[in-house]
Amino acid sequence: MSTVPLLLDGQWTHPPAQSFGPVHNPCKGEIIAEVPMCGGAEVDAAVQSAKRAYASWSKTPVYDRVAVLFKYRHLLDEHFDELSRLIVRENGKTLEEARGDMRRGLEVADFACSIGETAKGEYLPELAAGIDAHTSREPIGVCAGITPFNFPAMVPMWMYPVAIACGNTFVLKPSEKVPLTANRLAELFLEAGLPEGVFNVVHGGREVVDALCGHPGIAAISFVGSTGVARHVYTEACKHGKRVQSAGGAKNVLLVLPDAELDATLQAILSSAFGCAGQRCMAGSLLMGVGHGDQLREQVVEAMNGLALGDTYDDPSAQMGPVIDDAARDRLFTSIADAEAEGLALARDGREGVPDAGFFVGPTLIDQVEPDRDIFREELFGPVLSMLHPETLDEAIAWFNQLPFGNAATLFTQDGNAARRFAREVECGMIGINLGVPAPVALFPFSGWDESFFGDLHVQGQEGVMFYTRQKTVLSRW
């Protein structure tokens, strides 16, 4: 059994950990590695290493920083398939989904290569008589990233390539469920010529997170995970004077109007709700059919029956993989059982016909859900879709706007006016029109609202550059 090392000061090290957590291959249900559950001592070592490296990295000329990023970009491309396979191994998504995970991360690395342009300041001569003004965007210091299990490559890469390109140094605390991809991403960054200590990786859970939030050497924290932890990290890190961006959970709607183009809509519903086994913060989890009656439900169930659930690690024909671990599977089975006990209609029951080995939950559709049900409001984070039948577009929007979350809402229609009204009136940060997963790629902010995001500046795009820099304004008279 291999033990997952930490990256401190450019060295891979095995700390004297008190306890270890399991890393699974979720397709098999087997433990493939052990991850050390670190604490304050390892966090402090990582922060000290990042602080030392900051002294020179923050002064490294932009072209030299970008040269390392270009080399890194090249190495990620060269190792694309190996990394994608590693994602499948520890996360269980399909190889194509893992490639998507990598591609989205790579696009952020591409964006980071343009830091010379995106982090430029402004200049205004004669602000007053004989006085010129300019601003510059300066790095902020040691930044930390805390990430979830569902995108082992993309979510860490939302953070560290941009932070490091801006001249900061970084401590990553990846999900203890998927530490292997994070380590390989870090290893390639070293191979690209990143100086020691600029990028550090510490493994563990709550203890590491709390130590990061309270450490005086850390300037900023980026968090992505469930809402309860996102709120906790935001509160704790703000209390310690840090800049924080903290993304939480979601409950996203897929709303289908009577005039929607049905074949394309069905495909989009399927991939949104069941892609990555429903473990995406942009997954559609509420299906609302306006004026569709039972027909839409039957078509969706038929399409779900055609989805090949299976061992994505060994069987390339599998279209949907397992959930991350036995705890996630058991939690989802309980939610389905609770819905059944409440008298909701199980149009398709994902507890049936699942492989014995591994952590599988089949695609599930719960019909006749009303907005007063718990299942309407709670994030399930698995392949379980709830169906509602609003009478009108207005009713559907009003139902959606009751939700505490604000990540994504999608409308399927051919009516431009309905689409415009939907985009204007729905209260959330990412809107899709005839798209199942309206995830903005690297150039635009990943702009969740409400309980899906705590903070001011989101990851990705220009907001990411603003988050990882602070402005200096210089007035000069000569």
- Please identify, using beta-carbon distances, which residue of 304 and 380 lies nearer to ligand NAD: 380
- Please identify, using beta-carbon distances, which residue of 239 and 472 lies nearer to ligand NAD: 239
173: phi then psi, degrees, rounded to nearest 5: -120, 90
Whether the CB-CB separation of 72 and 188 falls below 8 Å is answered with yes
In angstroms, what is the minimal distance from the CB of 216 to ligand NAD? Answer: 19
> Which member of 27, 143, 281, 428 is catalytic?
281
Give the separation between CA 226 and CA 187, rounded to whole angstroms: 28
Positions that interact with ligand NAD (CB under 6 A): 146-150, 155, 173, 175-176, 205-206, 209, 224-226, 229, 232, 247-250, 281, 379, 381, 407, 446, 448, 452
Please state, as a whole number, how many other Cβ atoms lie within 10 Å of the Cβ of residue 33.
19
Give the separation between CA 152 and CA 92, rounded to whole angstroms: 11
In angstroms, what is the minimal distance from the CB of 117 to ligand NAD? Answer: 26
Q: Closest residue (Cβ) to ligand NAD?
A: 225
Active site includes 281? Answer: yes
Please state, as a whole number, how many other Cβ atoms lie within 10 Å of the Cβ of residue 195.
14
In angstroms, what is the minimal distance from the CB of 457 to ligand NAD? Answer: 14
Angle of helix 80-91 versus helix 179-191 axis, rounded to 10: 160
In angstroms, what is the minimal distance from the CB of 151 to ligand NAD? Answer: 6
In angstroms, what is the minimal distance from the CB of 192 to ligand NAD? Answer: 25
- Please identify, using beta-carbon distances, which residue of 265 and 452 lies nearer to ligand NAD: 452
- Please identify, using beta-carbon distances, which residue of 327 and 345 lies nearer to ligand NAD: 327
- Please identify, using beta-carbon distances, which residue of 157 and 229 lies nearer to ligand NAD: 229
In angstroms, what is the minimal distance from the CB of 459 to ligand NAD? Answer: 7
- Please identify, using beta-carbon distances, which residue of 224 and 336 lies nearer to ligand NAD: 224
Catalytic residue set: 281
